[in-house]
Amino acid sequence: MRPIVMISSWPPRLCGIATFAEEALEFICKADPARPAYVISHTDGEGEFVKPVIDMSREDWYVPVVETVKELDPEVIHIEHEYGLYNYINDKGEGDGNRGFLKMLDLLSGYPTVVEPHTIHGRMRDQEEIFVKELAEKCSVLLFKCHYQKWRLRWSFEGRDWKVPENIMIIPHGARPDFRWAISEVDNLKRELGLGEYAGKHIIGLVGWIQSNKRWDILTSMWEDIYHEIREETGEEWFLFAAGSMRDPNHKSDYEKYVSEIKLLESEGMARYFEFVPRGELYYKAMAVCDFIVLPSLDETQSGTLARIIALNKPYISTAPMEGLTAQTVESEGGLLFTHKAGLREKVIRLATDEGLRMRLGENLKKYLDETVSWEVVARQYLEAYQLASREVREGKPVYIRPEF
């Protein structure tokens, strides 16, 4: 049986796409267990079925990728895309605008190709629009994560008198269905993480990679007032649990600022800082001990964090308008949105003082997970995309997926 080949960054690289790809392939293999699967990764990828041949110091980095694909002779190629992963930079510091990636697709035109870009903005820059146009033309099936991205693209393309792509399929960001703990298990999890003093107490979480764009300081700067207001209204203590680590050295100054603010609150008995690398089961456990999560973010880099929140059915508060984060909050009805600092304060106090609301949001997330974004559901959709791509190559008929509107 011919294999599935995934092209992507891969662990141990500390990269959201790598983590995403690892989980996605785990469930793809469970959905089609008889079919072998291989990964073609960057040179820092590791694993028994991993071919680490993508060397971005080479202008022609895609040549060994194509050679490896030909050796493996796959049934379908599933490619995870993010601009930074495939951007060759020359000696002058100039990027190639992902031209090498498009050349790779040209060289792979004889194979069914499914491309899953992780950066599709509602309002694209000119170069993004041109790239997506070429991408849709060169691959068999193009995967977007949100419905609005597809119907918003029609407006952009028609404004340029371009043909709207007909091979775009919507498959949401997957979330694990197998990492859920009962409320009765949470205190034991706290003890396991060294948080035994918080057993039986309420926790609000800021969890994940600590970066400038995550803006933990929005909440930490007003946490003392929120802490006292919640305590006065409920008679209960709610603690701020900030858990994560720095990934990008360019964010070091903000990382140090955010952590210093948390540690000051910790010295006053209102918060706790927990240093850990947000990966694997520990990432889920760090979220599981929280009553709800806050995601103050300035861009779309938090989709992996949101997937874990959904996996745990945790109510949350996030920024709006914020592309996919807002779209999934509206679709799931599992979180609250804020647009300014006072709004965040109001939403935090509201969730902390309304247990019924927390329960309703959690139930909505459970339903959304089970029916829409569980990796088990998403993996079956990937297999449908593979079938469409294979049929296109086999029969020579372009993929046609009806527009929603």
Each residue of 74-99: pLDDT tens digit?
Answer: 999 999 999 999 999 999 999 999 99
Using pLDDT thresholds of 50, 70 and 90, give the confidence band for residue 247: confident
Amino acid 212: pLDDT: 83
Q: Provide mean pLDDT across the span 327-354.
A: 96
The number of C-alpha atoms within 13 Å of 116 and in the hemisphere containing its C-beta is: 25
Please tell me whether the peptide bond between 403 and the residue prior to it is cis, using omega within 30 degrees of 0. no
**Cα–Cα distance for residue pair 235/301, rounded to 1 Å:** 36
Amino acid 300: pLDDT: 62
Q: Which fold has domain 183-373?
A: Rossmann fold (3.40.50)
Amino acid 248: pLDDT: 84
Average pLDDT, the chain: 94
Amino acid 143: pLDDT: 98
Each residue of 272-299: pLDDT tens digit?
Answer: 999 999 989 999 999 999 999 999 887 7
Amino acid 403: pLDDT: 84
Residue the block writes with tokens 């959690």: 362
Amino acid 255: pLDDT: 87
Q: State yes or no: pLDDT of 302 exceeds 60.
A: no
Each residue of 26-43: pLDDT tens digit?
Answer: 999 999 999 999 999 999
**Cα–Cα distance for residue pair 268/3, rounded to 1 Å:** 57
> How does DSSP classify residue 158?
H
CATH 3.40.50.2000 boundaries in the chain: 4-174+375-395, 183-373
Residue 15: exposed, middle, or buried by beta-carbon count in 10 A (0-12, 13-18, 19+)? buried
Q: State yes or no: pLDDT of 166 exceeds 80.
A: yes
Amino acid 333: pLDDT: 97
Amino acid 98: pLDDT: 96
- CB 268 within 8 Å of CB 262: no
Amino acid 121: pLDDT: 86
Q: State yes or no: pLDDT of 231 exceeds 90.
A: yes
Retrieve residue 74's tokens: 């796959």
Amino acid 113: pLDDT: 98
Q: State yes or no: pLDDT of 301 exceeds 60.
A: no
Percent of the chain with pLDDT over 90: 85
Q: Provide mean pLDDT across the span 209-231.
A: 91
- CB 68 within 8 Å of CB 39: no
pTM, full prediction: 0.94
Determine if residue 161 is left, alpha or beta; phi over 0 gives left, psi from -120 to 50 gives alpha, anything else beta: left
Q: Which fold has domain 4-174+375-395?
A: Rossmann fold (3.40.50)
Our CA dihedral for 323, 324, 327, 331, rounded to 10 degrees, sits at 180
Amino acid 213: pLDDT: 79
Q: Provide mean pLDDT across the span 136-149.
A: 96
Retrieve residue 304's tokens: 């992996």
Q: State yes or no: pLDDT of 322 exceeds 90.
A: no
